[in-house]
Amino acid sequence: MSSRAHWFGTFPCKCPNKIYSVHYGTYYGKEKHPEKHKTHPLTQMIIDTKTQNSKTATSASEICLLIYQHVLMKYNIAPWYLLDSTECIVPIPLHEQHTEHCSDNCKSRKLDEPHTKGQLLAETLTKIIYDKTGKNIPLYKDVLVRADRTKPMDKNATQKERYNYAWKDYKIAEDIKSNNLIEGKKILLIDDILTSKATTDICSTLLCNNGANKVSILCAAETFLDPNWKQKRS
């Protein structure tokens, strides 16, 4: 469990509470860790949720059960109250249309199918929470919008560049702003993999700046990185 106080600088966060970030396990990237990428159980399950194969639904359920047991229940205590305090669940959104920057795997799917990012995990986790506790937490799939589809990130991009990319990519849906749907809400923001934190930081900032009282970030895994990654890209 890590906590990040309000993110200042170019994109100030108005959230009245700290933004907490949690993840279940580790994801091993294909380029730097090819063997573990092929054999590591959680990494393989996450790949299944991205590739729409026969294991997709099963892997999503297994990941969310692990998250429920080892993250939500573990951190359902002060100061987090990760489960009890959550009033709605919001996934990191998909882009609204395919572009030349989409992978072939992405282009082969319908846009309304839950693929990549946190939508499938958010839907599955919402159902598991209800089955286990009877708590029916609303799932707001359309609060955040992928406003743009930027080209793939340069692997040597600095942290500032990554945040600038993410800031251009995401926005709050206009009808959400006008209806004050998230005003005063304690939100659980869901994504599949946490790497640079740019996406989740930007999205949590957008939620806070549009009325959310608290945002907790929950990811299935954090990418295993070179310990010097931050220094190299600062």
For 69, the token pair is: 């047991």
Asked which of 14-28, 34-48, 197-211 is least confident by mean pLDDT, the reply is 14-28
Q: For the chain, give the mean pLDDT.
A: 82
> Per-domain residue ranges for the chain?
12-222
- Look at residue 219 in the predicted model and tell me its pLDDT: 95
**Are the C-beta atoms of residues 167 and 209 closer than 8 Å to each other?**
no
Dist. CA 18–CA 86, nearest whole Å: 14
Dist. CA 185–CA 53, nearest whole Å: 35
159-191 pLDDT per residue, tens: 788 888 888 889 999 888 788 889 999 999 999
- Look at residue 168 in the predicted model and tell me its pLDDT: 86
**Are the C-beta atoms of residues 115 and 124 closer than 8 Å to each other?**
no
For 192, the token pair is: 């599949």
Residue 84: is its pLDDT beyond 50? Answer: yes
- Look at residue 231 in the predicted model and tell me its pLDDT: 47
Domain 12-222: CATH architecture, name and number where available? 3-Layer(aba) Sandwich (3.40)
Tell me the pTM. 0.85
For 100, the token pair is: 């030349």
Residue 113: is its pLDDT beyond 70? Answer: no
- Look at residue 2 in the predicted model and tell me its pLDDT: 43
- Look at residue 220 in the predicted model and tell me its pLDDT: 96
Residues 185-210: what's their mean pLDDT? 92
Surface-to-core class of residue 131, CB atoms within 10 Å of its CB (0-12 exposed, 13-18 middle, 19+ buried): exposed
Confidence class for position 147, pLDDT limits 50, 70, 90: confident
Residues 223-233: what's their mean pLDDT? 64
Cβ contacts of 9 within 8 Å, gap of 6 or more: none
Task: Please give the helix or strand (H or E) that residue 125 lies within, else none.
Answer: helix 119-133
**Could you please report the per-residue DSSP string of 19-32?**
EEEEEEEEE--TTT
CA distances from 192 to 152, 180, 200 (A): 18, 27, 11
Nearest Cα neighbor of 160 from 198, 203, 193 is: 198
**Are the C-beta atoms of residues 233 and 156 closer than 8 Å to each other?**
yes
Residues 194-198: what's their mean pLDDT? 89
Residue 3: is its pLDDT beyond 50? Answer: no
Confidence class for position 11, pLDDT limits 50, 70, 90: low
Dist. CA 123–CA 89, nearest whole Å: 9
Q: Which residue has the higher pLDDT, 195 or 138?
A: 138
Dist. CA 226–CA 97, nearest whole Å: 33
- Look at residue 4 in the predicted model and tell me its pLDDT: 39
CA distances from 105 to 17, 49, 51, 205 (A): 39, 12, 7, 30
* Helix residue ranges, H only, 139-228: 159-169, 174-179, 198-209
Confidence class for position 157, pLDDT limits 50, 70, 90: confident
Asked which of 5-14, 35-44, 80-89, 179-188 is least confident by mean pLDDT, the reply is 5-14
Residue 152: is its pLDDT beyond 80? Answer: no
